[in-house]
Amino acid sequence: MDTVSLRGRVESLIHAHSRDYVPDILSSGFSCERCGWCCCENFSIRITKDILRPSNAISIFPDDIRRIMKGKGLKWDDVVQPDIYSCLSDGDKIWAIGWILRRNDGRECVFYRDGACAIYEFRPMICRCYPFFMGKRGVEVMHCERLEKKMAKENAEEMALMLKRYEIKKLRSYISIMAQLGDKLSFANLRMLPRGYEGEVFVCDGERVVRQRT
């Protein structure tokens, strides 16, 4: 992954029309019923041989965090923590690549309460797009327990536009994080934060580098 190819992908998406994604979204059979399945840890994604990422370790943008803070009257640390599943070390400091929504002791999103999302109207872009994401061959669908009720075309068009915007924002964020980390960024060096780690982490989120205690 390099910045030239990422910028090329951004340009390609900018000139693509979101309506091209609508047929795949409609054919998925998905319509969100707000069941909360995706808010809970239901499976793990193997990132490397040493990193298993929980399905609900949700990476979010600083803009998402600020929207939740403003909408719910919360502080930054109430909403997120450093992404402990995407860390690097240069032998002196530990660097985390972005933020994830906080999870409770039961491994659920902290905002999943009484069977519902407590921040639904302020939820992050990634949650608004789930279970859809942009793959190499267009729209792909992640696992969801409710792929059984087709959404309305109008809603599919809104989802397609959101998906395009999310993918562009995600790629631009990658480009900024790569600039922040420089030659420290290497997939081979990716690590989980050690269990029980207490100390400082430097979080690179594409906007700034934040010194954070865990």
Per-residue DSSP letter, 177? H
What does the pLDDT read at residue 1? 67
Residues 200, 212: contact at Cβ < 8 Å? yes
Range of the domain at 182: 3-213
pLDDT over 70 (residue 76): yes
pTM for this structure? 0.91
Q: How many CA atoms lie within 13 A of 139 on its CB side?
A: 27
pLDDT over 90 (residue 166): yes
**Overall number of domains in the chain:** 1
The residues facing 203 across adjacent strands are: 96, 210
User: How high is the mean pLDDT of the chain?
Assistant: 91
**What is the average pLDDT across 108-115?**
94
Interstrand relation of 132-135 and 138-141 (parallel, antiparallel or unpaired): antiparallel
